[in-house]
Amino acid sequence: MFEFLKSAVEDNPHAGTGVLAREGIVYAESGPNSYQEAPELLLLVTNVAGYIYGHVHQRKAAPEYGRESVWVAVLVESSVLVDGRTPGEALLCAGDAWYRHCSYHPMYAQSEDDVLAVRDSFEDACKVMAEMVRHYDPLRRHGGEREVDGVWVIHEPEGRMDLRIMDLYGLSCALNEEEIAAGSDDGRPVA
């Protein structure tokens, strides 16, 4: 019935849906937010009542890890749509939203790897991301209202608010010009 409207969007090179919304996942062999431009993956977990993303990338390691870099898998809650016409644009948009503008929110965790995990390889980080996604439940990660005996009550999840995402993406909400020119990886070690 409204094919003419869909055609109008399709005919306009400036309109349309981004690659992450269309495909659900983007990957770059040389990720703009990954330490030393290592591979990077971005997954759209849900866009219902907010945005939840899965982000897998390499970071410079904190000294206690005893190595130069680690792979991080993290669930990111954001009120910002992250996407682009290409995988590279989508990843740059994510870096801009999370590293530069701090457009992320910590989530509750009931165990260590519920929302952020550090692994030795990209493959292992992707596997733990799959587990995070399989177990994702908005009431366990964010809380909210739920019905108990016919009454709507505010539900606060068990566990703890996992604040490690702040160590990962930072709290400065704006990189300095040299860091912006060098890329989104600000060189801070992961927690």
pLDDT digits (tens, 9 = 90+) for 106-135: 999 999 999 999 999 999 999 999 999 999
DSSP state of 123: H
Output the pLDDT for position 180: 44
pLDDT band at 181 (very low <50, low <70, confident <90, very high): very low
Q: 9 Cβ partners below 8 Å, 6+ apart?
A: 15, 16
**pLDDT of 123-172, one tens digit each?**
999 999 999 999 998 888 887 777 888 888 887 888 899 999 999 998 86
Break the chain into its structural domains and give their ranges.
Answer: 3-177
Q: Please tell me the predicted confidence (pLDDT) of residue 185.
A: 47
- pTM across the whole model: 0.83
Strand duo 116-119 + 69-78: pairing:
antiparallel
Residue 173, pLDDT score: 60
In angstroms, what CA-CA distances link 148 with 10, 136, 151? 46, 21, 5
pLDDT higher than 90, residue 55: yes
- Tell me how far the alpha carbon of residue 71 is from its chain's centroid: 14
